Chain A
């Protein structure tokens, strides 16, 4: 009875666990999303798209969805621009410097999201460091309500995405054949030319995958929009879903929002997965994505 002999015997318990504790719950959620509101849990009855229709016809939900998606795009764009120089330096450095940069990049992953948000609440508070610095530098006349503002929300969302993005872009730079850089030099390209003509085009897959990942992370973000960004943050689809399920007890609508997030996640992740699979840092990225 070795693993070589009867691998399927070994797989029974793990498959049963992931089946009943992951796939069956997802199926239940999807079923709730197409069940008529009146029918009791598990009751029979026809299928309906009324909950989806309600979501997509109510201006409140529609604008919330637009806000969530637009924020995802904005965060992805800013995070790409911010992370690219970090990925470049990481790729170019070696030995101890690289090991230390890796530690710096990974350390935010191991700090609880609630703790990170708390740190930002302290920094962005009315009399926090950021406000004091901005007033001290003369950029602001009086402290602003950064914590409850959209800018505050963006800062914290971007903060969460940057380490992922750096690793994804650096991973795609690892595939660049360094002899190409030398040949470009030999053929007369300056440093700027090498960067523009060789490095930048070859790192595009990483930029795209990183952008998709940041979008995906942001659209399904929950703790950050719940605590930062005031009323705007609380219009994120994930927060509305939570309120629907836990506060107003409209499980069917909550399930429909869950299904929409599920579809968005599956679509974006599968779009980025090929690049991530080929990446040196793919494991690290996927291990920290779901948290």
Chain B
């Protein structure tokens, strides 16, 4: 009975996602289940809709720039947190992770009010900076998890053998850290690409991100074309997550070699 109950609840957990994927391949114009025939008509329909393309482009641009900036900040913070010794380390780590602890709708409102007083007036700049705030903790997490696994004696050996600090970083630490950096970038990227509640307050009329485009569409109507966009969104996210896991796993496999 326990197993049957579990199966039922897991089915319920996945139902809304699966139904979206099924309907994105439906040949019907209405949500008839099961679809009478399968087709790619809604994906073809999407291809002719400029607003979804321009939104996907905005999302991609924001996620790439904010993801890259977050990764650099995450790398710096991780090096200090993992290798450095200084007082109040826990407090500083807590401060850096702060944005993770709040529902991002609050961060979104606060950023809007802040940017109107000071900060960039163009929406693209606001979006990117806002996303950096919420994405950086993800980059710190991934990179510092990787850095904790690196034996400090490798760096010491490099220094003893006469390499300078920069050379040790570039030739020893950076290659060992690269899977963590890659995973950190991917997590920051999807966090930005997926964001709804911070973007909602920071978008301008020509910088509407893809999730916000879907959200505003859903407020008024819904048809299977939204299912098709959703499937694309799911594919991008799952691809990025698998990529990140693969990078981290790849490093583990390499590290376990004799």
To the question of whether A and B form a pair in one complex, the answer is yes
Give the interface of A toward B (CB within 8 A): 1-5, 7-8, 10-11, 13-15, 17-18, 21-26, 28-29, 32, 41-42, 82, 85-86, 88-89, 101, 104-105, 107-108, 110-123, 125, 127-129, 132, 159, 162-163, 216-217, 220-223, 226-227, 238, 241-242, 245-246, 251, 254-255, 258, 261-262, 265-266, 269, 283, 286-287, 289-291
B197 within 8 A of A: yes
- Tell me the bound Cα distance from A251 to B110 in angstroms: 11
* B interface residues, Cβ below 8 angstroms from A: 2-3, 5-6, 9-10, 12-20, 23, 31, 33, 72-74, 76-77, 79-86, 92, 95-107, 109-117, 129-130, 132-134, 136, 138, 140-141, 155, 165-166, 168-169, 190-191, 194-197, 200-201, 211, 214-215, 218-219, 222, 226-227, 230, 233-234, 237-238, 241
A101 to B168, CA, bound (A): 42
B31 contacts which chain A residues (CB < 8 A)?
122, 125, 127-128
**Residues of B contacting A116 in the complex (Cβ-Cβ under 8 angstroms):** 16-17
A114-B196, A262-B102, A290-B100 given as contacts; is B84 within 8 A of A108 (CB)? no
**Nearest Cβ on chain A to B158's Cβ, whole angstroms:** 11
Q: A25 and B16 in contact (CB under 8 A), knowing A7-B84, A17-B133, A265-B106? A: no
Partner among A10, A220, A245 whose Cβ is within 8 Å of the Cβ of B79: A10
B19 touches A22 (CB 8 A): no
Which of B10, B76, B106, B241 is close to A110, meaning CB atoms less than 8 Å apart?
B241
Is the Cβ of A41 less than 8 Å from the Cβ of B117?
yes
Please judge, given known A-B contacts A8-B80, A13-B76, A220-B103, whether A25 and B110 are in contact too, CB under 8 Å. Answer: yes
Q: List 30 A-B contacts (CB under 8 A).
A: A2-B155, A7-B79, A11-B77, A14-B77, A14-B136, A14-B140, A17-B133, A18-B96, A22-B133, A24-B114, A25-B113, A25-B115, A105-B13, A110-B238, A111-B237, A113-B196, A114-B196, A115-B20, A115-B214, A119-B18, A122-B222, A123-B16, A159-B16, A217-B103, A222-B197, A226-B215, A242-B200, A261-B106, A269-B101, A290-B101
- The answer, among A11, A111, A265, for a CB contact under 8 Å with B234, is A111
With contacts A111-B234, A114-B214, A246-B201 taken as known, whether A89 is within 8 angstroms of B3 at the C-beta atoms is yes
Interface contact A261-B6, CB-CB below 8 Å:
no
